[in-house]
């Protein structure tokens, strides 16, 4: 029976209420403390061999008969108007089929109507001006050099605060402030809160623009089969791409099929459809041939999105005993030329600690730089750096241990909604991390020019998931099973954990479970793989579908075997019952039914009412700073996180390690550099844009609290994709401050900044 209900979900720090359709009755979670056969076990990735051997076909690998290539001509100016564009020379080159410009394609709104698919007005250096469709990639690259464009350069602005000054160049007609004003949140009265404060910290924190640089760059292949459009896309949301393509091309959903079997990472940059996808589709329609457009690494670092730079003015007040009285954050982020969802920089300030008087003002500002996109823990990474740095400064002023200050302001109540948390394992994460680090016994002996330091930081994030998400489980005549859902595996191990869930519920061995995802035409709907939503959204639907299939199977088996249904169960692929002399293999029972197929249906139930579902964590770091060279060396890194029940410790540990390494890059070395005179990105490649390598990765000790959240969903699991990156830079910054006795409030904390801070300290 289907029911229409209203439920609340949290996505990347924002709350949404929506109507959803729920099918059937919800399942109770597996009890806490129970030992399960497959769930909770270290199962290697089902597709690991395909990925490492090169047999996995990514979007970049798709090759179709007669396929053409598309390559972009990009603007050299950060702000300009195209006065004239001449493509005749390019079109005359042998092998060139056509050149797409704003003059010969429909005026399709893009970025929520902030521009068009191709536009006369250019708003960042590297923006798409034209697209050449040719026989091969090299021919397309040659032809784009023959396109002649006459530009009218316009004034530009690169920094968010400068973009708000009177007389600043206007990037959009409505002004440079996204949505016309700041996103303001307030509870209590901050003036009253600061009046009651006995100690205050008031500082400015800055973070640089960071680039995703996923291993597989953005790209699509488009093919028209009659009036049906087939898209192979490197995306985190196949159903989202289907919906966007259908809407913008004005065709019905049944005429669009989106496929993504394997993907080389996204980190949020592939949450929505790119211009390359739609232009490949238009090129394929106009030529009658499949078209592939794949960004190269340089293009990736110009136009594929970024974690925006931020400037955060943060003030914290507290009583002498460490109790927080007020927090005020005014944050500016560079939205770039276009934006879909502003990052929630104020999320940690609003939620992490008990504080009666809080105000956050978030200004997302258009600038003449590449467009902002989500980047693993968007907003919370930047906001946590400022908040947790300020908390350490406050602890120093109060002569308190930083961990004691955090425990003093610990809360079991969500500060925004006033509801209790369904579970909160942060206190245990603190205790385990401190014990593993030897926090109480930490010493700071000096070795020559090296100074030791210790730091820690906290994490809060959503990760509750929610409906709608659907799955089917098919039982084959040989007793094997196939799980189907329209979700995506970004490289996180989604297929593996879904197989574990199905195997556990069905009682069928893992090697008898296959998982089919990534195809809108054959899979039921699943949501975007972002916001740490995939497992807690799709996993419960898979378990429900497996339960439904098992219920049908046991009902049929009882009739075939002529035994009561009570006591009949499936274990390790065999039917067992006190009424049977010996177990019966599923395949032997099903052989009597010829090719009869059982199909179980599952849907994600609504989120619980009256409680708030969040993830938590704490990270501790020991490091050394060489005061002569400025080099930072991580000695020991501890990450303890609470994301409910652990389905696969192996895949979770890789998520934590990957998040920490990205966080170290953000905190210590990564930054996009833009020439202030020309607006051009100077390090749009992997040689000049420094990222952590294996040489930079320390030993990372990861632990999970592993306490099932029995109210969150029928798995008791929450998301873990983004939590590990959120507190890393803050923990490292606190350890560096502990080492040097001087605080650096701007990321990344490079060697140059360390040496400069030491000079200023000694002045």
CATH number of residue 147's parent domain:
3.90.1170.50
Q: In this structure, is residue 727 part of a structural domain?
A: yes
pLDDT of residue 219: 98
511 and 641 in one domain? no
The answer to whether the beta carbons of residues 468 and 604 sit under 8 Å apart is yes
376 and 500 in one domain? no
The answer to whether the beta carbons of residues 390 and 458 sit under 8 Å apart is no
Q: What is the pLDDT of residues 283-294, one digit of tens each?
A: 999 999 999 999
588 and 614 in one domain? no
Contacts of 119 (CB under 8 A, 6+ apart): 102
Residue 444 has pLDDT above 90, yes or no: no
- List alpha helices for 491-605, DSSP H: 494-506, 534-561, 586-590
Q: Which residue has the higher pLDDT, 14 or 307?
A: 307
97 and 81 in one domain? yes
- The last residue of a domain, from among 102, 133, 154: 154
Residue 10 has pLDDT above 90, yes or no: no
- Integer Cα distance of 484 and 482 in angstroms: 6
Model confidence, pTM: 0.96
* Strands 96-100 and 128-134, bridge-based pairing: antiparallel
For residue 172, count other CB atoms closer than 10 A to its CB. 15
Range of the domain at 95: 66-154
Q: What is the pLDDT of residues 148-204, one digit of tens each?
A: 999 999 999 999 999 999 999 999 999 999 999 999 999 999 999 999 999 999 999
- Integer Cα distance of 487 and 527 in angstroms: 7
Question: Confidence class of residue 763 from pLDDT cuts 50, 70 and 90?
Answer: low
* Strands 68-74 and 291-294, bridge-based pairing: parallel
Whole-number Cα distances in Å, 48 to 509, 646, 747: 18, 20, 35
640 and 572 in one domain? no
Q: In this structure, is residue 399 part of a structural domain?
A: yes
The answer to whether the beta carbons of residues 248 and 283 sit under 8 Å apart is no
Q: What is the pLDDT of residues 691-729, one digit of tens each?
A: 999 989 999 999 999 999 999 999 999 999 999 999 999
Kindly state the helix (H) or strand (E) to which residue 142 belongs, with its residue range: helix 137-144
Q: In this structure, is residue 620 part of a structural domain?
A: yes
**Sheet bearing 96-100, strands edge to edge:** 96-100, 128-134, 68-74, 291-294, 219-225, 228-233, 256-259
pLDDT of residue 24: 63
- Integer Cα distance of 505 and 544 in angstroms: 9
Residue 1 has pLDDT above 90, yes or no: no
634 and 661 in one domain? yes
Q: Which of 461, 460, 357, 454 is nearest to 410 (CA)?
A: 460
**Average of pLDDT values for 62-82?**
98
**Average of pLDDT values for 529-534?**
95
Domain count, the chain: 3
Q: In this structure, is residue 185 part of a structural domain?
A: no
Q: What is the pLDDT of residues 351-393, one digit of tens each?
A: 999 999 999 999 999 999 999 999 999 999 999 999 999 999 9
408 and 391 in one domain? yes
- Write phi, then psi, for 437 (nearest 5 degrees): -80, -20
CATH number at residue 329: 3.30.365.10
- Integer Cα distance of 129 and 120 in angstroms: 8
- The last residue of a domain, from among 138, 154, 170: 154
Residue 488 has pLDDT above 70, yes or no: yes
521 and 400 in one domain? no
The answer to whether the beta carbons of residues 549 and 473 sit under 8 Å apart is yes
Take residue 523 and report the two structure tokens written for it: 């899979």
Q: What is the dihedral of CA 645, 647, 649, 654, to 10 degrees?
A: -110
For residue 431, count other CB atoms closer than 10 A to its CB. 15
- Integer Cα distance of 424 and 674 in angstroms: 42
For residue 350, count other CB atoms closer than 10 A to its CB. 23
State how far Cα 547 lies from the chain centre.
30
Q: What is the pLDDT of residues 590-618, one digit of tens each?
A: 988 888 889 999 999 999 999 999 999 99
Q: Which of 275, 277, 221, 257 is nearest to 69 (CA)?
A: 221
Q: In this structure, is residue 171 part of a structural domain?
A: no
615 and 599 in one domain? no
Residue 465, helix vs strand vs coil? coil
**Average of pLDDT values for 646-667?**
97
- Integer Cα distance of 311 and 386 in angstroms: 10
- Which residues form the catalytic set? 722
**Average of pLDDT values for 466-480?**
96
75 and 127 in one domain? yes
- Write phi, then psi, for 615 (nearest 5 degrees): -110, 155
- The last residue of a domain, from among 104, 129, 154: 154
For residue 692, count other CB atoms closer than 10 A to its CB. 18
- Integer Cα distance of 484 and 688 in angstroms: 42
Instruction: Give helix then strand counts, H and E, for the chain.
Output: 18, 30
What integer best gives the mean pLDDT of the chain?
Answer: 96
Q: In this structure, is residue 363 part of a structural domain?
A: yes
703 and 569 in one domain? no
Long-range contacts of 408-414 (CB under 8 A, 24+ apart): 408/321, 408/322, 408/323, 409/322, 409/323, 409/324, 409/353, 409/354, 409/355, 410/353, 410/354, 411/353, 411/354, 413/354, 414/351, 414/612, 414/614
The answer to whether the beta carbons of residues 442 and 454 sit under 8 Å apart is yes
Q: In this structure, is residue 228 part of a structural domain?
A: no
- Integer Cα distance of 335 and 78 in angstroms: 14
Q: In this structure, is residue 367 part of a structural domain?
A: yes
Q: Which of 171, 172, 152, 155 is nearest to 85 (CA)?
A: 152
Question: Confidence class of residue 25 from pLDDT cuts 50, 70 and 90?
Answer: low
587 and 502 in one domain? yes
Burial class (CB in 10 A: 0-12, 13-18, 19+), 417: middle
Q: What is the pLDDT of residues 499-524, one digit of tens each?
A: 999 999 999 999 999 999 999 999 99
Question: Confidence class of residue 16 from pLDDT cuts 50, 70 and 90?
Answer: confident
């Amino acid at each position: 029976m289907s029911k229409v209900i209203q439920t609340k979900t949290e996505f990347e720090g924002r709350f949404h209420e929506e109507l959803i359709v729920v099918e059937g009755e919800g399942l109770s979670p597996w009890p806490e403390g129970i030992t399960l056969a497959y769930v909770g076990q270290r199962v290697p990735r089902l597709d690991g061999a395909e990925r490492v051997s090169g047999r996995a076909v990514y979007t970049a690998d798709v090759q179709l008969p007669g396929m053409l290539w598309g390559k972009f001509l990009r603007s050299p100016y950060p702000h300009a108007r195209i006065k004239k564009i001449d493509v005749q020379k390019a079109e005359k080159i042998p092998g060139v089929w056509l050149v797409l410009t704003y003059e010969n394609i429909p005026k399709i709104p893009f970025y929520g109507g902030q521009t068009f698919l191709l536009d006369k007005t250019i708003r960042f250096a590297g923006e798409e001006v034209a697209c050449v469709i040719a026989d091969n990639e090299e021919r397309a690259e040659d032809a784009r050099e023959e396109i002649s464009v006459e530009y009218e350069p316009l004034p530009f602005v690169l920094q968010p605060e400068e973009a708000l000054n009177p007389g600043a160049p206007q990037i959009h007609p409505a002004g440079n402030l996204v949505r016309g004003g700041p996103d303001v949140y307030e509870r209590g009265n901050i003036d009253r809160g600061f009046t009651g404060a006995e100690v205050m910290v008031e500082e400015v924190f800055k973070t640089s623009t960071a680039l995703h640089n996923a291993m597989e760059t953005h790209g699509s292949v488009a093919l028209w089969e009659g009036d049906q459009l087939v898209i192979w896309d490197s995306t985190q949301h196949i159903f989202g791409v289907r919906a966007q393509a259908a809407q913008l091309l004005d065709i019905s959903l049944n005429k669009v099929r989106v496929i993504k079997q394997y993907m080389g990472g996204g980190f949020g940059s592939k949450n929505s459809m790119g211009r390359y996808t739609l232009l490949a589709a238009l090129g394929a329609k106009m030529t009658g041939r499949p078209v592939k457009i794949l960004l190269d690494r340089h293009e990736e670092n110009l136009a594929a999105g970024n974690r925006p730079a931020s400037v955060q003015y943060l003030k914290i007040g507290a009583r002498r005993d460490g109790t927080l009285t007020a927090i005020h954050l005014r944050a500016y982020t560079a939205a770039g030329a276009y934006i879909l969802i502003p990052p929630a920089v104020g999320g940690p300030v609003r939620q992490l600690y008990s504080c009666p008087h809080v105000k956050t003002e978030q200004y997302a500002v258009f600038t003449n730089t590449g467009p902002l996109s989500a980047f693993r823990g968007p907003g919370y990474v930047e906001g946590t750096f400022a908040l947790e740095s300020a908390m350490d400064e406050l602890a120093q002023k109060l002569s308190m241990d930083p961990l004691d200050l955090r425990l003093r302001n610990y809360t079991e109540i969500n500060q925004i909604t006033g509801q209790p948390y369904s579970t909160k394992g942060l206190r245990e994460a603190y205790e385990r991390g401190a014990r593993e680090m030897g926090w109480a016994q930490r010493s700071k002996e000096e070795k020559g020019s090296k100074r030791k330091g210790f730091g820690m930081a906290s994490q809060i994030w959503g990760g509750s998931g929610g409906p709608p998400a659907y799955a089917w489980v098919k039982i084959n005549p040989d007793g094997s099973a196939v799980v189907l859902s329209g979700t995506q595996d970004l490289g996180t191990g989604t297929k593996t954990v879904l197989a574990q869930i199905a195997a556990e519920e069905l009682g069928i061995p893992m090697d008898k479970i296959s998982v089919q995802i990534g195809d809108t035409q054959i899979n039921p709907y699943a949501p975007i793989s972002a916001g740490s939503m995939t497992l807690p959204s799709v996993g419960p639907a898979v378990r429900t579908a497996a339960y439904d299939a098992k219920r049908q199977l046991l009902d049929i088996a009882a009739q075939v075997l002529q035994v009561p249904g009570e006591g009949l169960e499936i274990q390790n692929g065999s039917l067992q019952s006190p009424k049977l002399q010996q177990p019966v293999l599923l395949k032997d029972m099903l052989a009597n039914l010829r090719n009869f197929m059982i199909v179980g249906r599952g849907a994600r139930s609504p989120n619980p009412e009256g409680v708030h579902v969040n993830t938590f964590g704490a990270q501790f770091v020991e490091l050394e700073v060489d005061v002569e060279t400025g080099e930072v060396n991580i000695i020991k890194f501890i990450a303890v996180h609470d994301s409910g029940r652990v389905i696969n410790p192996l895949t979770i540990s890789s998520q934590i390690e990957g998040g920490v390494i990205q966080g170290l890059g953000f905190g210590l070395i990564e930054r996009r550099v833009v020439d202030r005179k020309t607006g051009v990105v100077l390090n749009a490649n992997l040689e000049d844009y420094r990222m952590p390598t294996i040489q930079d990765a320390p030993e990372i000790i990861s632990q999970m609290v592993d306490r099932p959240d029995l109210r969150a969903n029928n798995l008791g699991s929450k998301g873990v994709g983004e939590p590990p990156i959120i507190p890393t830079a803050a923990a490292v910054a606190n350890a560096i401050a502990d080492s040097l006795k001087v605080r650096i409030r701007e990321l990344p904390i490079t060697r140059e900044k360390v040496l400069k801070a030491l000079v200023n300290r000694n002045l």
